[in-house]
Amino acid sequence: MMLRFIVMLCLLLWPLLGLQPACARDTGVERHVRHFVVKPSGAYLLTVEQIRTVVQRDALHDHARYEIGYNQALDDIIAVEAHTEKADGRLLAVQPHQIRDQQQAASINAPMFQNTRLKIVEFPDADAGDRVAVRYVVRRHTPLFPGHFEDLSSARLQRQCDFRVVYDMPVAMLLHADAIGFLPTTITDLPPPAAGKRRYAWCYLDGDNARPEAGSVSELDYGKRLAVSTFADYAALARAYQNHVGARAVPDDTVAALAARVTGNVVEPRARAIALSDWVRHNVRYVAGYLGPGGVVPHAAASVLANRYGDAKDHTTLLVALLASAGIDSTVALVNNGNAYQLPAVPTLGVLNHAIVYVPALQLYFDPTAKNVAGGFLPAALLGKPAVLTRSGEFAMLPFFQQAHSRTLTQFTIQPDGSSRLRVTRTGSGALAEQYRRVPGGNVARSLRGASNGFTQLPDPARLATTYDLKGSLGDAVLTFAQEPERHQDFVCPAIDAEDELRFHLPTRSRVLTLPRPVHVDDANFAYHSRYARRGALVTVQRQLKFRHTAATCTPDDYRRMRPALERMLRDLRSQVVFKRG
């Protein structure tokens, strides 16, 4: 209630402040206006106008075209007008043949998803210093949720001179809002709302945006964004989603027969649930489609089973049906599939863009689209996030920790001429094991071999680095963690449990001149230990690292406290072994 009062107060006061943006031609986006006219059914007419200056030549790849995403089962593109304004004032209109319509790449080989389309506008003769302008109108004839409307707006990093979002709503449909960096405003350059409509409008507060730091949470968590919804709360959104899912998750005879065949003689409920989730992961192809743009109505479980492909909502619908056939109660859980770890105060699918399955009796989550993560574990990107359970409408917090251990063994066999043979063996367990099982042979280890001429210079004293930036290794984990000298944004800090072993097989008659000292770091978050040893012609470097935190994300204050420990680890990772032959 307090939020609604503040929004209405700002609507009254903002025009009196006289704080309208001043435009400059070199700002990037000079004008971006999104105007929704919403019907009581939730259907709407959306008019979008954008004028942008191509500031630099290297921006042509991104700015010389404009993409309009739509779903032809839900939307009609009524009109598209566009032109290039040259620096000398000439207007070059976009011709019909310069507007292409094509299927989104993710759904090309998936007939059930051929409704997701792109309208691509190519601006003619666009160059640095030119303006490109587009205006288009979309009619949403089939609302995602009948009788409701929701939307999420955010601004990219470039300057936004005049960015406004306007909603003309039926008077009976109260629009709830959660605005950060968007301020209520009045609109003077659009026709007034029609009779029976109430206008809500926000203006983006322009200014320098913070650079996204490496590994930081989504800009939706800390940046400027506007969430609006006619749903009073997330429970109402969950009920609306569940209304779409319910009947489609009812198992038919084919689904029931498959569940019986997969579970076989397995008695233990957890093992039965994992077996069913693994069957979906391995046998149903994933076709990317976020909730919202791809619709919210899943295909029936029997249809997904027959076609053997689907998006997240289809995978979850089939798994819920299979679990029900096996006597296991479950629910769909809506969650963010990006780097957003917070939910706006009002419900929107712009953040809840992914669907997984929760089994309450087992306190177990499944993502049946995750090919490289075994049942019983979650993809790392989902850990520690809030979710909405669609059957109950309740909030849930996904676990922020799961067992996941990796070990990397790197071996260099250095030849007398300074060349080297290389072998790397990677093993994983827990949440990391599945990606190795999927390689030929089904092992939980993966190896690669290679060779390098001129690896080091002999017979002069040679310096050997003791860390190699192999993706997924301990060294990679520390370097990724510490890549920002200081932080001003929350960042993702997953648990780490890693071992690295490096072996140098030196040429005969080699003398080790320098061997680094061991390093031990033990504090509230890190347990790091390194050891260096020589035995004959073999030099061994062993490192172990464990990192734990109380959440999936860390704050800038956390990082300041962690930085001294990270510096000690980085110094150790930069240490060298020095040897001389002869």
Could you write out the DSSP letters of every residue in 184-213?
Answer: E---SSSPPPPTTEEEEEEEE--SPPPPPP
CATH 3.40.120.10 fits 236-397, yes or no: no
- Report the distance separating Cα 554 and Cα 216, nearest Å: 9
Query: Could you count the other beta carbons within 10 Å of the beta carbon of residue 247?
Result: 9
pLDDT of residue 242: 94
Buried b (16+ CB within 10 A) or exposed e, 190-212: eeebeeebebbbbbbbbeebeee
Higher pLDDT, 44 or 417: 44
Is 97 buried (19+), middle (13-18) or exposed (0-12) by CB count in 10 A? exposed
Reported confidence tier of residue 211, pLDDT bands at 50, 70, 90? confident
pLDDT of residue 103: 77
Q: In the chain, which segments carry CATH 2.60.40.3140?
A: 2-233
Q: Is the pLDDT of residue 377 over 70?
A: yes
Mean pLDDT of 293-318: 88
Q: Is the pLDDT of residue 140 over 80?
A: yes
pLDDT of residue 206: 85
pLDDT of residue 7: 39
Q: In the chain, which segments carry CATH 2.60.120.1130?
A: 404-581
- Report the distance separating Cα 334 and Cα 398, nearest Å: 11
Nearest residue to 327 via CA among 227, 430, 251, 215 = 251
pLDDT of residue 441: 44
Reported confidence tier of residue 580, pLDDT bands at 50, 70, 90? very high
Helix (H) or strand (E) holding 413: strand 404-414
The token pair at 259 is 């569940």
Reported confidence tier of residue 11, pLDDT bands at 50, 70, 90? very low
282, 318 contact by CB (below 8 A):
no
**36: helix, coil or strand?**
strand
Higher pLDDT, 159 or 73: 73
* Fold designation for 404-581: Jelly Rolls (2.60.120)
Sheet holding 225-229, edge to edge: 150-154, 225-229, 176-180
pLDDT of residue 463: 92
Residue-wise pLDDT tens digits, 252-270: 999 999 999 999 989 999 9
pLDDT of residue 440: 47
Q: Is the pLDDT of residue 23 over 60?
A: no
In the numeric block, the tokens 């979309």 are attached to 138
Q: In the chain, which segments carry CATH 3.10.620.30?
A: 236-397
4, 184 contact by CB (below 8 A):
no
Query: Could you count the other beta carbons within 10 Å of the beta carbon of residue 232?
Result: 12
Buried b (16+ CB within 10 A) or exposed e, 419-439: ebeeebebbbeebbbbbbeee
Mean pLDDT of 499-506: 96
Q: Is the pLDDT of residue 446 over 70?
A: no
- Report the distance separating Cα 432 and Cα 416, nearest Å: 38
- Report the distance separating Cα 375 and Cα 367, nearest Å: 8
The token pair at 381 is 């990107």
Q: Crossing angle of helices 556-573/474-481, nearest 10°?
A: 140
The amino acid that residue 140 corresponds to is R
Cα 282–Cα 283–Cα 285 angle in degrees, nearest 5: 95
Reported confidence tier of residue 57, pLDDT bands at 50, 70, 90? confident
Reported confidence tier of residue 19, pLDDT bands at 50, 70, 90? very low
- Report the distance separating Cα 579 and Cα 577, nearest Å: 7
CATH class of 2-233: mainly beta
Mean pLDDT of 375-381: 93
What letter would DSSP give residue 27?
G
